[in-house]
Structure 1
């Protein structure tokens, strides 16, 4: 990965440097040629000024009074060009029809390049052709009168060949080499900094995939925030998987114990009856029946959870009188509580009907599970009550609260008590239920558009309240 990153960085830098260099080279070259063309134009104008201001005779010709004379003008131009050390200056004659007379244009120029029409109009022309620059300036001629040209127009033409900007090219090569060297160093540094956390994450996830859930990705200080978030997310995932595996082990141990205990009782009493060793066969049969019902409840709870997972669990939503329901459930559980010496208190059962939305059978199952859970941990009392509050903005909902005065739930365990594989470390005062009741309550509440939450402690002595919340009718 590091090698690919370095190559990618260097390729991008190389292309950028080359494009910038070529662009700069073209701009500099064009600028140089424009400057040279303007210099040619200035040179031509200087020559013309010298011709106009020339005094004296050139081989017997009075050039000041005979300036329009072509021979005088040409001789003066040659003398001034030599005196001024100006190379590439020639005198051309343009006829009225736009042809060149009396001189041959340089090989790299054509009549179209020097724009004869503009020269005939008395305008100077400057430009570039290939690697050469030129400037053409017409000399005032008395033959141009009233806008009509009736003879030959003398034009001073200055040409130069511009050399490629070698100094700039060398500068570009040096700057490019330095840039690529710096880019290589930065590329290796960036590639190392980017690839190191990614490589660490890959190694850690490979170990996690192999079952080593204790593996964690080290979070390096001053690391890029994105990589720190990635490492934290992987570590959180590994911690969740590790905890899930531990809960799964505890769950299977708990289920194994819950299955083994009634099976042991059933087998023991059945063998005693078969051997004729049971002193009270009827009592033994009642124990077997009770343990069988316990096994049936456990298996049914497991099936309910499986159906909820597979979305094969149907709920028939309707109106429920919560007050009447908690009264009925309280009466059903009262014998069990009386036998255990516990007080079961139902508050609000005799009030005006409290209507909520839900599946009547499943809501009764949920309340029963909550009461059974409270029964296992209560010291002396379990209380069932009804309350009302606004949930989901302005929508009213009803609460069914089941509280016990047991030891309470630790803050570490509180967020997880509705997980199906959670096994509490709290002391269980008495047995009852399958141990899956709270997980089933949570799944059913979600399926009916409600929710369930736990509050603990509820007093200085501990205690726990489980709150079932369902929409009102």
Structure 2
């Protein structure tokens, strides 16, 4: 874990970006500053040369050999003046021109550089009407001084920019760091088991911080609801296990005490077997539910004819359905409906939902298995004409033990549900887990027959 806090990271990131940006700007602007200063100096020198070439003084100077400069003359602005006579003879600043440049200067404008008395200079030469040329020279050292001055100003501006970036980074880090620290404290309280925790978010803060705070609030509510469901489920588990265990223990103690007559032994044995089978089914369902949540849960996927699967399942359920006084009908297309899925798991879902219907439906009721091919998959329905469920049950019908606790003994309309040997509230949770593992969805609705309808959507492939 990083030793840096969010404030330090944000400040360092802001300053780092600012330093890189300023360094990049300095690298780019340095040659531009020199180029701009040199261009400005040359343009100024060129204007002076143009002006001097138009003055009569320049012609008179070039026409008087005795007045030709014998050494460079420097003006108050640091500009040296020179003459190239019509004969090509150079005096003053013109001495910095090469022989070829002197000849060119007699005929046209010349802008070049050279050395005058061992010092680099900028040169501007202009031809005169009388065939001579006037030459002006400006020291490059003056350009360097201007560049240095502009660089100092640039560095000062960059330094001020860095200070502003540092202050801005610290301000942003403080504004973000404080609410994030509060969110982290809230998350730690949640992880420690505290519930009803509210994260304080300052008004006007970043939208993302408010979204994280809202997510933590919802997580708090979800954890509280989940823990409450878990508590109720564990209470239901303890109750469901206590009943058969109490019965088994009571009969076992009666056998040990000799309170059971020989004629009563077969009945006691049947009761012990029945209670142990009930407990075995319950433990098996608990293990099945746990396996569904395991990472190594596997599926045996293959090409399955769902019509054949329904037909075989109907035959397997025929005896139990008949003993319950019910009818089981299959509504499926007259042709094979194939799907790549796990046939055993699909049958498991059908068995769970059908078992639920058989237990709650009174004699004379009808149970329907329906198969419909749809774009991208299939829909399987298990419907019944029993007492059905309330609309509010759809929200938590697949939570372990919820409906079992809600309708313990009776259904929504007072109908008898379950009883000894009845359901224990895990079947729908198992069906939901299996369907989810198959990549599908399951939901509870109202059947046209008047009872409950469980609709399973399975995708292709």
Do both proteins adopt the same fold according to a TM-score greater than 0.5, normalized to the shorter chain?
Answer: yes
Measure the CA separation in 2 of the matches of 1:290 and 1:200: 57
In structure 2, which of residues 75, 82, 103 is the aligned counterpart of residue 120 of structure 1?
A: 103
Cα offset for 1:290? 0.9
Cα offset for 1:384? 1.0
Matches within 5 A, 1:96-135: 103=91, 111=96, 114=97, 116-121=99-104, 122-127=107-112, 133-135=122-124
Cα offset for 1:385? 1.0
Measure the CA separation in 1 of the matches of 2:348 and 2:76: 115
Label 1:54 to 1:125 Cα distance change in 2 as closer, same or farther (>3 A). Answer: closer
Residue 38 of structure 1 pairs with residue 43 of structure 2: yes
Aligned residues: 428
Residue 200 of structure 1 pairs with residue 190 of structure 2: no
Alignment correspondent of 2:369:
386
Residue 70 of structure 1 pairs with residue 70 of structure 2: no
Alignment correspondent of 1:10:
15
Measure the CA separation in 2 of the matches of 1:134 and 1:351: 100
Alignment correspondent of 1:453:
443
Cα offset for 1:303? 3.3
Residue 332 of structure 1 pairs with residue 320 of structure 2: yes
In structure 2, which of residues 349, 356, 376 is the aligned counterpart of residue 366 of structure 1?
A: 349
In structure 2, which of residues 60, 63, 81 is the aligned counterpart of residue 90 of structure 1?
A: 81
Measure the CA separation in 2 of the matches of 1:364 and 1:2: 57
Residue 466 of structure 1 pairs with residue 451 of structure 2: no
Label 1:425 to 1:243 Cα distance change in 2 as closer, same or farther (>3 A). Answer: same
In structure 1, which of residues 154, 161, 164 is the aligned counterpart of residue 146 of structure 2?
A: 164
Cα offset for 1:265? 0.8
Label 1:140 to 1:352 Cα distance change in 2 as closer, same or farther (>3 A). Answer: closer
Report the secondary structure of 2:146's partner residue: coil
Label 1:43 to 1:275 Cα distance change in 2 as closer, same or farther (>3 A). Answer: closer
Alignment correspondent of 1:254:
236
Matches within 5 A, 1:31-430: 31-51=36-56, 70-74=65-69, 88-91=79-82, 103=91, 111=96, 114=97, 116-121=99-104, 122-127=107-112, 133-139=122-128, 155-160=134-139, 161-162=142-143, 163-164=145-146, 172=154, 175=157, 179-180=161-162, 182-212=164-194, 214-218=196-200, 222-278=204-260, 280-308=264-292, 309=294, 310-312=296-298, 314=300, 318-319=304-305, 320=308, 322-323=310-311, 325-326=313-314, 328-329=316-317, 331-335=319-323, 337=324, 344-348=326-330, 365-374=348-357, 383-393=366-376, 395-402=377-384, 404-408=386-390, 410=392, 414-420=394-400, 424-429=404-409, 430=418
Give CA deviations for 1:301-331 in whole Å, capped at 9, x if unaligned.
2333344433256577654352563465253
Report the secondary structure of 1:404's partner residue: coil
Cα offset for 1:294? 0.7
Report the secondary structure of 1:3's partner residue: helix
**Structure 2 regions of 5+ residues with no counterpart?**
1-5, 410-417
Which has the greater radius of gyration?
1
Label 1:52 to 1:181 Cα distance change in 2 as closer, same or farther (>3 A). Answer: closer
Label 1:467 to 1:173 Cα distance change in 2 as closer, same or farther (>3 A). Answer: closer
Q: Is the 8 A contact 2:299 2:342 kept in 1?
A: no
Q: Is the 8 A contact 1:323 1:352 kept in 2?
A: no
Q: Is the 8 A contact 1:455 1:466 kept in 2?
A: yes
**Structure 1 regions of 5+ residues with no counterpart?**
56-62, 143-152, 339-343
Alignment correspondent of 1:435:
425
Report the secondary structure of 1:164's partner residue: helix
Report the secondary structure of 2:55's partner residue: helix
Measure the CA separation in 1 of the matches of 2:101 and 2:112: 13
> TM-score scaled to structure 1, two decimals?
0.71
Report the secondary structure of 1:297's partner residue: helix
Measure the CA separation in 1 of the matches of 2:77 and 2:391: 105
Q: What is the alpha-carbon root mean square deviation over aligned residues?
A: 4.6
Label 1:235 to 1:131 Cα distance change in 2 as closer, same or farther (>3 A). Answer: farther
